[in-house]
């Protein structure tokens, strides 16, 4: 405990000394002891916007995962922001370089390019908008930028998908099949408009377009990539049945990265910020079962002792990589800033960044 107290004190002292030169961003899924030190706690969209609008800090410490730090680097060091800072780059630091995202790893640029080329055998790819969930590598965002595509987060997926389908007949949505499917169905699209591209099935004789026939692809409007989040994939409809049996009045709220059958059965679905908002604005005495990462659920339960807030699953589902960031690692990157030799700097290379920026800016402009 004394050890923790000393670290908290050390981090706060550095934050005071650095003042406005330092911005610490923390995703909702971070550990409680880490989030305490964040200047801003938010969902992926809010944190991207904070990085984009930042023109005067020198260092961003991103308490989140790798793709988030990449996004912050691309946005914070856009040509516009660099001009405002007389060309001075912001260093974006990730306290643990192993903090990745297994979902982002499920779609590499090479995989998606192979799919895109295969699609071009049967449809006109000029009539497809590639949409990448922000949970993806900068490389894939650059692919989207080059092909007239756009990024989305879980809080703006519907606006992005609607805008894309207004402009072109089809979208290729990656890496998260569940967010894509849940969003398309919420917009009123029919299941028959949606196909899922499974790279492993591309060798099937009569369905060699990611497990689909050429006709199925041609008739679809939304082509989903077969990726998923291992944290949200753990929720199943049985969890909802069981919780309603025990608490008939409870409201079930889940993240749209959960499988379709779970979202269908829940009372509502929304991004992490939506979940935070709904619970914070609900009246005293309300009861919520929450289907998302367990650290956020535990924080909400502590913040609102006048309400019942419980995990939807009996076994809490934690994101292991988000949990890699801890106080010693946060203190270590802050020390490196103070010493003038920042470590764990995430810098997207100059060939990738401009197109990835295009894709992110289209998202930020789409409300
Ligand atoms: P949001 O922050 O957009 O809700 O996404 C949740 C998530 O899984 C982040 O990795
Ligand atoms: Fe990736 Fe899921 Fe963890 Fe988010 S919660 S970082 S999508 S594995």
Position 53 scores a pLDDT of 87
Secondary structure in 3-state letters for the chain:
CHHHHHHHHHHHHHHHHHHHHEEEEEECCCCHHHHCCCCEEECHHHHHHHHHCCCCCCEEEEECCHHHHHHHHHHHCCHHHHHHCCCCCCEEECCCCCCCCCCHHHCCHHHHHHHHHHHCCCCCHHHEEEEEECCCCHHHHHHHHHCCCEEECCCCHHHHHHHHHHHCCEEEEECEHHHHHHHHHHCCCCHHHEEEECHHHCCCCCCCECCECHHHHHHCCEEEECECCCCCCCCCHHHHHHHHHHCCCCEEEECCCCCHHHHHHCCEECCHHHHHHHHHHCCCCCEEEEECCHHHHHHHHHHCCCCEEEECCCCCCCCCCHHHCCHHHHHHHHHHHHCCCCCCECCCCCCCHHHHHHHHHHHHHCC
Pocket test for ligand 1, best of 152, 153, 183, 290 (most atoms within 8 A of CB): 153
Report which bound ligand comes closest to the CA of 152.
1
Position 45 scores a pLDDT of 84
> Can you give the pTM of this predicted structure?
0.95
Q: Which atom of ligand 1 is nearest to the CA of 42?
A: 2
Position 48 scores a pLDDT of 85
Measured between alpha carbons, how far is 47 from 22 in angstroms, rounded to an integer?
15
Measured between alpha carbons, how far is 231 from 293 in angstroms, rounded to an integer?
7
Tens-digit pLDDT profile for the chain (367 aa)?
Answer: 558 899 999 999 999 999 999 999 999 999 999 999 999 999 988 898 898 887 779 999 999 999 999 999 999 999 999 998 999 999 999 999 999 999 999 999 999 999 999 999 999 999 999 999 999 999 999 999 999 999 999 999 999 999 999 999 999 999 999 999 999 999 999 999 999 999 888 666 677 899 999 999 999 999 999 999 999 999 999 999 999 999 999 999 999 999 999 999 999 999 999 999 999 999 999 999 999 999 999 999 999 999 999 999 999 999 999 999 999 999 999 999 999 999 999 999 999 999 999 999 999 998 6
Position 2 scores a pLDDT of 57
Q: What's the gap in Å between 192 CA and the centre of ligand 1?
A: 27
Measured between alpha carbons, how far is 96 from 198 in angstroms, rounded to an integer?
31
Report which bound ligand comes closest to the CA of 155.
1
Report which bound ligand comes closest to the CA of 233.
2
Does ligand 1 come within 6 angstroms of the Cβ of 48? no
Does ligand 1 come within 6 angstroms of the Cβ of 272? yes
Position 1 scores a pLDDT of 54
Q: What's the gap in Å between 64 CA and the centre of ligand 2?
A: 10
SS3 64: coil
Position 52 scores a pLDDT of 85
Q: Whose CA is nearest to atom 6 of ligand 1?
A: 272
Q: Which atom of ligand 2 is nearest to the CA of 176?
A: 7
Does ligand 1 come within 6 angstroms of the Cβ of 292? no
Q: What's the gap in Å between 237 CA and the centre of ligand 1?
A: 21
Q: Which atom of ligand 2 is nearest to the CA of 321?
A: 3
Does ligand 1 come within 6 angstroms of the Cβ of 73? no
Pocket test for ligand 2, best of 63, 101, 258 (most atoms within 8 A of CB): 101
Q: What's the gap in Å between 212 CA and the centre of ligand 1?
A: 29
For residue 343, the tally of other CB atoms under 10 A from its CB is 15
Peptide bond into 270 cis (omega under 30): no
Position 335 scores a pLDDT of 98
Position 199 scores a pLDDT of 83
Does ligand 1 come within 6 angstroms of the Cβ of 41? no
Position 366 scores a pLDDT of 87
């Amino acid at each position: 405990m004394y050890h923790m107290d000393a670290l908290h004190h050390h981090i706060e002292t550095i934050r005071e000394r650095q003042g406005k030169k330092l911005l610490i961003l923390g995703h909702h899924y971070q550990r409680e002891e880490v989030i305490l030190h964040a200047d801003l706690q938010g969902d992926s969209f809010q944190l991207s916007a904070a990085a984009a609008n930042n023109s005067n800090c020198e260092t961003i410490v991103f308490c989140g995962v790798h793709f988030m730090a990449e996004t912050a680097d691309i946005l914070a060091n856009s040509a516009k922001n660099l001009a405002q800072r007389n060309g001075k780059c912001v260093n974006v630091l990730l306290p643990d370089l192993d903090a990745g995202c297994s979902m982002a790893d499920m779609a590499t640029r090479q995989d998606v390019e192979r799919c895109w080329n295969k699609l071009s055998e049967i449809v006109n790819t000029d009539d497809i908008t590639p949409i990448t969930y922000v949970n993806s590598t900068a490389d894939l965002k650059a692919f989207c930028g080059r092909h007239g595509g756009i990024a989305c987060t879980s809080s703006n997926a519907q606006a992005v998908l609607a805008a894309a389908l207004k402009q072109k007949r089809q979208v290729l949505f990656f890496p998260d099949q569940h967010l894509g499917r849940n969003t398309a169905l919420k917009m009123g699209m029919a299941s028959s408009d949606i196909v899922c591209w499974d790279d492993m099935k591309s060798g099937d004789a009569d369905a060699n377009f990611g497990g689909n026939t050429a006709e199925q692809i041609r008739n679809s409007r939304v082509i989903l990539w077969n990726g998923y989040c291992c944290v949200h994939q753990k929720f199943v409809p049985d969890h909802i049945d069981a919780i309603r049996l025990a608490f008939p009045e409870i409201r079930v709220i889940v993240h749209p990265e959960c499988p379709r059958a779970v979202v269908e059965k829940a009372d509502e679905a929304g991004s992490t910020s939506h979940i935070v908002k709904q619970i914070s604005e609900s009246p005293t005495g309300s009861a919520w079962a929450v289907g998302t990462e367990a650290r956020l659920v535990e924080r909400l339960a502590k913040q609102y002792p006048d309400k019942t807030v419980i995990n939807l699953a009996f076994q809490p589902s934690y994101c292991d990589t988000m949990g890699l960031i801890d106080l010693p690692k946060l203190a270590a990157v802050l020390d490196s800033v103070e010493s003038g030799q920042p470590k764990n700097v995430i810098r997207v290379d100059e060939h990738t960044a401009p197109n990835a920026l295009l894709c992110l800016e289209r998202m930020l402009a789409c409300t």
